Structure 1
Amino acid sequence: MAYRVFRAICIACFLSGALLASAAELPTIAKTATGGQLLVQGKPYLILGGELGNSSAGTAEQADSILPKLASMHLNTVLMPVAWEQIEPTEGNFDFSILDHWIDVAREQHLHLVILWFGSWKNAFSNYAPAWVKADNRRFPRAISADGAQLEILSTLGSETLKSDSRAFTTLMNHVREKDQDKQTVLMVQAENEVGYLGRGRDRSAAANRLFESNVPAELMRSLEANRDSFSPELRAHFDPQGHTWQEVFGDSADEVFMAWNYARYIQIVATAGKKAYPLLMYANCQLPAPSERAGEYPSGGPHPYYLEVYRVTAPVLDFYSPDIYWPNFAYWIDRYRFKGNPVFVPEARLEAAPYNAFYAYGEAKAFGFSPFGVDSLQSGSQGKTGPSVEEVFAALESMSDMLIPAQAANRTRGLVLHSDSPRPTQTVSLGGYLFEAALSRSWPAKALLEDDGAMMVVEASPNEFYIAGSGLTVNFFRDPDVDNKQSGIASIEEVNRVAGNWTVARRLNGDQSNQGRQLAMAPHEVHVYRVRLYATDRVAGEQ
Structure 2
Amino acid sequence: MLAGLLHANRRPTLAGAALTGLLSACLLPGAAAAAQQPASNAAPHLVKQNGRYAFYLDGKPFLILGGQINNSSSWPSTMPDVWPMIEGIHANTVEAPVYWEQFEPHPGVFDYSTVDMLVHQARQHHVHLVLLWFGTWKNGEDHYVPEWIKTDPAHYPRMIDERGQPIQVLSANAPANLNADRKAFTALTHHLAQIDGTQHTVIMIQVENESGAIGAVRDHSPAAQKEFEAQVPQPVLTAMHKSPGTWRQVFGFKADEYFQAYSVAKYINAVAEAGKAELKIPMYCNVWVEYPRGYQIRGYLLPGFDYPSGGPVQSNLAIWKAVATSIDILGPDLYSDDRGFEQTIMQTYRRPDNPLWIPETGTGDSFAPEFFYALGYGAIGFSPFGTDQTSWTYKPGQIPKALAANYALLEPIDRVVARLNLEGKLKTAIEAPGSTEKTLDFGRWQARVSFGFPQSDGEQHAPGTPHHDGRALVGQLGPDTFLVTGINSRVTFYLAPGQSGHMQILRAEQGEYDGTTWKPLRIWNGDQTDRGLNFRNEDQYVQIHLGTY
Instruction: Say which SS state the counterpart of residue 249 (structure 1) adopts.
Output: helix
**Alpha-carbon distance between aligned partners in 1 of 2:248 and 2:499, rounded to the nearest angstrom:** 54
Matches within 5 A, 1:69-80: 69-71=85-87, 73-80=89-96
Among 322, 330, 338, the alignment partner of 1:321 is: 330
Matched, 1:369 2:385: no
Asked if 1 retains the 8 angstrom alpha-carbon contact of 2:509 and 2:520, the reply is no
Measured after TM superposition, the shift of residue 472 of structure 1 is 2.9
Matched, 1:37 2:50: no
Matches within 5 A, 1:136-285: 136-199=152-215, 201-221=217-237, 223-224=238-239, 239=241, 241-285=242-286
**Alpha-carbon distance between aligned partners in 2 of 1:433 and 1:399, rounded to the nearest angstrom:** 29
Measured after TM superposition, the shift of residue 495 of structure 1 is 5.6
Equivalent in the alignment of 1:418: 431
Equivalent in the alignment of 2:405: 392
CA offsets, 1:156-193, max 9 Å, x none?
Answer: 11221111111111111111112221322111211111
Question: Structure 1 residues 486, 444: CA separation in 2 closer, same or farther (over 3 Å shift)?
Answer: closer
Question: Structure 1 residues 98, 381: CA separation in 2 closer, same or farther (over 3 Å shift)?
Answer: closer
Equivalent in the alignment of 1:433: 444
**Alpha-carbon distance between aligned partners in 2 of 1:315 and 1:383, rounded to the nearest angstrom:** 35
Asked if 1 retains the 8 angstrom alpha-carbon contact of 2:89 and 2:399, the reply is no
Instruction: Say which SS state the counterpart of residue 77 (structure 2) adopts.
Output: helix
Measured after TM superposition, the shift of residue 80 of structure 1 is 0.7
TM-score, normalised via structure 2 length: 0.80
Equivalent in the alignment of 1:358: 371
Q: Which amino acid aligns with 1:336?
A: T
Aligned length, in residue pairs: 487
Asked if 2 retains the 8 angstrom alpha-carbon contact of 1:455 and 1:472, the reply is yes
Q: Which amino acid aligns with 2:441?
A: S
Measured after TM superposition, the shift of residue 489 of structure 1 is 5.2
Matched, 1:403 2:416: yes
Question: Structure 1 residues 450, 207: CA separation in 2 closer, same or farther (over 3 Å shift)?
Answer: same
Equivalent in the alignment of 1:15: none
Matched, 1:312 2:321: yes
Among 69, 74, 93, the alignment partner of 1:52 is: 69
CA offsets, 1:239-291, max 9 Å, x none?
Answer: 5x235121232234322221110111001111112122222221112111222
Measured after TM superposition, the shift of residue 374 of structure 1 is 1.2
Question: Structure 1 residues 505, 332: CA separation in 2 closer, same or farther (over 3 Å shift)?
Answer: farther
Asked if 1 retains the 8 angstrom alpha-carbon contact of 2:290 and 2:314, the reply is no
Q: Is there any run of 5+ residues in structure 2 with no aligned partner, and where?
A: 1-39, 295-300
Asked if 1 retains the 8 angstrom alpha-carbon contact of 2:203 and 2:282, the reply is yes
**Alpha-carbon distance between aligned partners in 1 of 2:503 and 2:162, rounded to the nearest angstrom:** 64
Structure having greater relative contact order (Cα 8 Å, sep ≥ 6): 2
Question: Structure 1 residues 168, 34: CA separation in 2 closer, same or farther (over 3 Å shift)?
Answer: same
Q: Which amino acid aligns with 2:352?
A: K
Question: Structure 1 residues 66, 441: CA separation in 2 closer, same or farther (over 3 Å shift)?
Answer: same
Question: Structure 1 residues 439, 24: CA separation in 2 closer, same or farther (over 3 Å shift)?
Answer: closer
Question: Structure 1 residues 127, 437: CA separation in 2 closer, same or farther (over 3 Å shift)?
Answer: same
Among 320, 326, 338, the alignment partner of 2:350 is: 338
Among 442, 459, 468, the alignment partner of 1:452 is: 468
Asked if 2 retains the 8 angstrom alpha-carbon contact of 1:305 and 1:336, the reply is yes
Identical counterparts, % of pairs? 32
**Alpha-carbon distance between aligned partners in 2 of 1:101 and 1:316, rounded to the nearest angstrom:** 31
Q: Which amino acid aligns with 2:484?
A: I
Asked if 2 retains the 8 angstrom alpha-carbon contact of 1:247 and 1:254, the reply is yes
Asked if 2 retains the 8 angstrom alpha-carbon contact of 1:32 and 1:409, the reply is yes
RMSD (Å) for aligned C-alpha atoms: 2.9
Among 90, 99, 111, the alignment partner of 1:95 is: 111
Instruction: Say which SS state the counterpart of residue 452 (structure 1) adopts.
Output: coil
CA offsets, 1:475-507, max 9 Å, x none?
Answer: 4433223x7355435566666556897545478
**Alpha-carbon distance between aligned partners in 2 of 1:444 and 1:73, rounded to the nearest angstrom:** 32
Instruction: Say which SS state the counterpart of residue 388 (structure 2) adopts.
Output: helix
Among 110, 115, 118, the alignment partner of 2:126 is: 110
More helix by share: 1
Matched, 1:121 2:137: yes
Question: Structure 1 residues 480, 204: CA separation in 2 closer, same or farther (over 3 Å shift)?
Answer: farther
**Alpha-carbon distance between aligned partners in 2 of 1:277 and 1:266, rounded to the nearest angstrom:** 18
Question: Structure 1 residues 248, 485: CA separation in 2 closer, same or farther (over 3 Å shift)?
Answer: farther
Instruction: Say which SS state the counterpart of residue 334 (structure 1) adopts.
Output: helix
Instruction: Say which SS state the counterpart of residue 319 (structure 2) adopts.
Output: helix
**Alpha-carbon distance between aligned partners in 2 of 1:159 and 1:486, rounded to the nearest angstrom:** 71
Instruction: Say which SS state the counterpart of residue 167 (structure 1) adopts.
Output: helix
Q: Which stretch of structure 1 is more off in the superposition, 409-418 or 495-504?
A: 495-504
Instruction: Say which SS state the counterpart of residue 414 (structure 1) adopts.
Output: strand
**Alpha-carbon distance between aligned partners in 1 of 2:109 and 2:324, rounded to the nearest angstrom:** 29
Instruction: Say which SS state the counterpart of residue 255 (structure 2) adopts.
Output: helix
Question: Structure 1 residues 534, 184: CA separation in 2 closer, same or farther (over 3 Å shift)?
Answer: closer
Measured after TM superposition, the shift of residue 43 of structure 1 is 3.0
Measured after TM superposition, the shift of residue 536 of structure 1 is 5.1
Q: Which amino acid aligns with 1:173?
A: T
